[in-house]
Amino acid sequence: MTIAEQSILEVHTLARTFGGIVAVNDFNLSVRAGSIHGLIGPNGAGKTTTFNVISGFYAPSRGKVVYLGEDISGRATSALAELGLIRTFQGTTLFHELSVHDNVRLGCHRSAKAGLVKRILGTDRASEEAAEQKAHGILEFLGLENLADELTANLSHGHQRALGLAIALAADPKLMLLDEPFTGMNPEETRRMIELVKLVREEQGVTIMLIEHDMQAVMGLCDAITVMNFGTLLAEGTPEQVRNNPAVIEAYLGSASDAA
Ligand SMILES: Nc1ncnc2c1ncn2[C@@H]1O[C@H](COP(=O)(O)OP(=O)(O)OP(=O)(O)O)[C@@H](O)[C@H]1O
């Protein structure tokens, strides 16, 4: 079996409860290495909770998460980031008062293995220069180099989300979890972001998993889709299979009209 046919991530009989609320229950998932994998479902289906458990923000109540063949259930977000499991957020966490380049450079620093004291004091010149170059390379790779000196606060929404992707790349991801990457984007911004996500997978070999409500984007971008409903697995397959699955159609029609 080649790497590309193996799963990079597996979720086994996962459950997560909050008091009496069962957000995720008996949920199974497998993500193939090198794929772009969508996680969809009506509002409240349990998608965000699943992302939070996979990325270490919540411990599972039951079940386990296996990443690169290792049980990582309950490990801290920072430990998972060091293993290349990186999550982005709907509301991007950018330093608006800094330039685009400085945001990416800081991301490169955070991921560097230099000692904490050196990083705080900035005395490690070699790592400083390496971070500079790496940030420059990432911006160039994503076609954002012309924005390098721009103040982040001045960026359009689409460019801010692209910068979020650049910062995630600075952490040397193997698996990137994108939380609604197209939210609030106009069609042109969505089209460009789709191209960037494809580029990251194709050129950097990063596996990508995303939660997204924009069905057109999900169907056009993903190789595989998992559908959740009421905290559990409803359907999975190719976009074509999922689109034509009667249970999926029923779940969406049965939920509010604004559901994904
Ligand atoms: N921290 C929490 N405390 C209590 N209940 C929670 C918490 N997080 C999620 N839930 C509940 O768990 C269920 C699943 O929520 P979740 O956010 O995972 O769904 P979702 O599929 O991401 O929804 P959406 O598409 O609306 O973002 C919901 O009923 C939600 O209210």
Please name each of the domains of the chain with its CATH number: 1-84+174-260 (3.40.50.300), 93-171 (no CATH)
State the closest ligand 1 atom to the C-alpha of 231, by its place in the atom list counted from 1: 14
Q: Record the pTM.
A: 0.89
- Supply the residue whose CA is at minimum distance from atom 29 of ligand 1: 44
pLDDT value of position 259:
42
Q: How much is the pLDDT for 213?
A: 92
Q: Are strands 62-67 and 70-71 parallel, antiparallel or unpaired?
A: antiparallel
Average pLDDT along the chain: 90
- Ligand 1 contacts (CB < 6 A) are 18, 21, 23, 41, 43-49
- Mean pLDDT confidence for 15-39: 97
Residue closest via CA to ligand 1's atom 13 equals: 23
Q: How far is the CA of 231 from the centre of ligand 1 (A)?
A: 9
Centroid of ligand 1 to alpha carbon of 25 (angstroms): 12
Cα 7 to the center of its chain, rounded Å: 16
pLDDT confidence of 253, banded at 50, 70, 90? Answer: confident
Q: How far is CA 38 from CA 21, 69, 111, 188, 221, in A?
A: 25, 21, 26, 21, 9
Strands (DSSP E) contained in 68-124 are 70-71, 85-87
Nearest to 47 by CA among 207, 192, 251: 251
Once rounded to an integer, what is the mean pLDDT over residues 20-39?
A: 97
Cα(190)–Cα(179) distance, rounded to whole angstroms?
14
Residue 255 confidence class, pLDDT cut points 50, 70, 90: low
Alpha carbons 145 and 118: distance in angstroms, whole number: 28
Looking at residue 166, its pLDDT comes to 94
DSSP class of 101: H
Residue written as tokens 């905290």? 231
Strand pairing category for 85-87 and 175-179: parallel
- pLDDT band at residue 5 under the 50/70/90 scheme: low
Rounded distance between C-alpha atoms, residue 114 and residue 82, angstroms: 13
Closest ligand 1 atom to Cα of 58: 1
Mean pLDDT computed over 40-48: 96
Q: For atom 6 of ligand 1, which residue has the closest CA?
A: 18
